[in-house]
Amino acid sequence: AQKVTQAQTEISVVEKEDVTLDCVYETRDTTYYLFWYKQPPSGELVFLIRRNSFDEQNEISGRYSWNFQKSTSSFNFTITASQVVDSAVYFCALSEASRAGYGKLTFGQGTILTVHP
Amino acid sequence: DAGVIQSPRHEVTEMGQEVTLRCKPISGHDYLFWYRQTMMRGLELLIYFNNNVPIDDSGMPEDRFSAKMPNASFSTLKIQPSEPRDSAVYFCASSSKGTGGNQPQHFGDGTRLSIL
């Protein structure tokens, strides 16, 4: 069965610090997809990024970057120069490409990030 | 473009009452998902549909829960009778099949349900 673990329950940083959110996953499928979602205090879930299992290139989008390493089954998320508006719960999720698992998202427990001014 | 629309945003009702949550997916999306979020269990997939057909309902907690998708633009999640432990935030999400594999799911704002 697929599983996503976000070991950090809560992280607190001061504005402008860099912060990395860890995500470790388990799956038996060779083809799968990894996602990060953000849930701000207002409660909605906002899609941030999708990565497929064949693409291990790191990705950078503004202050956000993602490090995908199949060898360690990890898909970590770094926010550079954090801002108060980054305060949210961040979820890592996994979806398998097999017929049984297609489209189904398994979420980690989430990491609560608080950025202090 | 309109996102996933859920109604109501908040629902407070008494134990034993029937509760109906509604969802309008993004036009053109052929997958629809219902999730429940609680502090204890996090985000759980309850059921999902493909082209209006239920594909996997293994996450539905018990027979008190039912979901329907009568057409491509509307789905309901019903709880009858409701119990206090059903209190949670219920999210609806939709995605397209697209090409290149599993597409991201886009979520509605959720329905915060409180059963007294």
Q: Which helix (H) or strand (E) holds A33?
A: strand A32-39
Q: How many residues does chain B have?
A: 116
Contacts of B41 (CB under 8 A, 6+ apart): none
CB B24 within 8 A of CB B1: no
Mean pLDDT of B92-107: 81
Mean pLDDT of B22-32: 94
Give the DSSP letter string of A51-90.
EETT----EEETTEEEEEEGGGTEEEEEESS--GGG-EEE
Identify the residue among A94, A99, A105 best suited for mutation to test binding to B, counting B beta carbons within 10 A and taking the highest.
A105
Mean pLDDT of B51-70: 93
B95/A103 CB distance under 8 A: yes
Backbone φ and ψ of B86, nearest 5°: -80, -5
Euclidean distance between CA atoms A78 and A56, whole angstroms = 16
pLDDT digits over A38-58, tens only? 999 999 999 999 888 888 888
B94 beta partners: B32, B106
Closest Cβ opposite residue B45 in set A45, A97, A105: A105
pLDDT at B91 over 80: yes
Contacts of B86 (CB under 8 A, 6+ apart): B19, B64, B79, B113, B115
Q: Does A31 touch chain B (CB under 8 A)?
A: yes
pLDDT at B100 over 60: no
3-state secondary structure at position B33: strand
Q: Supply the DSSP symbol for A99.
A: T
- Nearest CA among B70, B75, B116, B114 for reference residue B93: B75
**Can you list the residues of chain A whose pLDDT is less than 50?**
none
Q: Which helix (H) or strand (E) holds B79?
A: strand B74-79
B104/A35 CB distance under 8 A: yes
CB B105 within 8 A of CB A104: no
B107/A45 CB distance under 8 A: yes
Residue A43: closest CA among chain B residues belongs to which residue?
B109
Mean pLDDT of B29-44: 93
Residues of A in contact with B110 (CB under 8 A): 43-45
Residues of A in contact with B57 (CB under 8 A): none
Euclidean distance between CA atoms B35 and B88, whole angstroms = 10
Mean pLDDT of B92-96: 92
pLDDT at B14 over 90: yes
pLDDT digits over B71-84, tens only? 999 999 999 999 99
CA distances from residue A36 to A6, A55, A82, A105, B80 in whole angstroms, order as listed: 11, 16, 17, 11, 34
